[in-house]
């Protein structure tokens, strides 16, 4: 069995990531997840991926707070490569902090679609349509299912 393509990012909860009580904003999770996704794509040589792969679906379950100063590890894994879409699964973990054990803060999944280089930057424009992934990209990320 072949391991699925994955990316990891490590960061720390900064003051800008929190509310006045020092607890992270829910939107911070996606910043960490997207950093792990960027690592995954860079590691596979897919530097042109982001301008042509808009998100079309997102689901997140939040399990535990992340606190100011806490270290965080985000992992992203390719769950499914389709003809023109990819489904990613992710987890965001809060590392041990102020006597609290390491704990999963959030997990979920999201889907991106390939809109092709002719539509680069046009994901928000009416008329953008999905097109098949370049064969080299699909091969770099895993088998189509």
What DSSP character marks residue 122? -
- Structural domain boundaries enclosing 109: 6-141
**Predicted pLDDT at 1:** 37
- 45 in any annotated domain: yes
Mean pLDDT of the chain: 89
CATH code of the domain containing 125: 3.10.129.10
> Given this model, what pLDDT does residue 4 score?
81
Output helix, strand, coil percentages for the chain, rounded to the nearest 5: 20, 35, 40
Per the domain annotation, does 98 fall within a domain? yes
Task: Give CA angle at 95 (91, 17), nearest 5°.
Answer: 75
Q: Are 113 and 56 in contact (CB under 8 A)?
A: yes
**Three-state DSSP class for residue 139:** helix
Rounded to an integer, the average pLDDT of 115-120 is 67
pLDDT digits (tens, 9 = 90+) for 71-100: 999 999 999 999 999 999 999 999 999 999
The total of structural domains in the chain comes to 1
The pTM is what? 0.88
In a domain, 1, yes or no: no
Closest CA to 128 of 115, 144, 145: 115
């Amino acid at each position: 069995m072949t391991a699925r393509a994955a990316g990891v990012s490590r960061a720390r909860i900064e003051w800008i990531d929190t509310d006045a009580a020092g607890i992270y904003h829910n939107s911070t999770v996606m910043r960490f997840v997207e950093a792990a996704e960027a690592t995954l794509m860079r590691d596979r040589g897919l530097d042109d991926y982001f301008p042509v792969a808009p998100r079309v679906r997102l689901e997140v379950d939040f399990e535990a707070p992340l606190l100011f100063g806490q270290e965080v590890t985000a992992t992203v894994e390719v769950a499914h490569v389709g003809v023109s879409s990819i489904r990613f699964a992710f987890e965001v973990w809060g590392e041990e902090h102020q006597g609290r054990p390491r704990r999963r803060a959030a997990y979920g999944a999201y889907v991106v679609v390939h809109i092709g280089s002719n539509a680069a930057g046009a994901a928000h424009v009416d008329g953008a349509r999905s097109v098949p992934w370049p064969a080299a990209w699909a091969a770099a990320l895993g088998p189509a299912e």
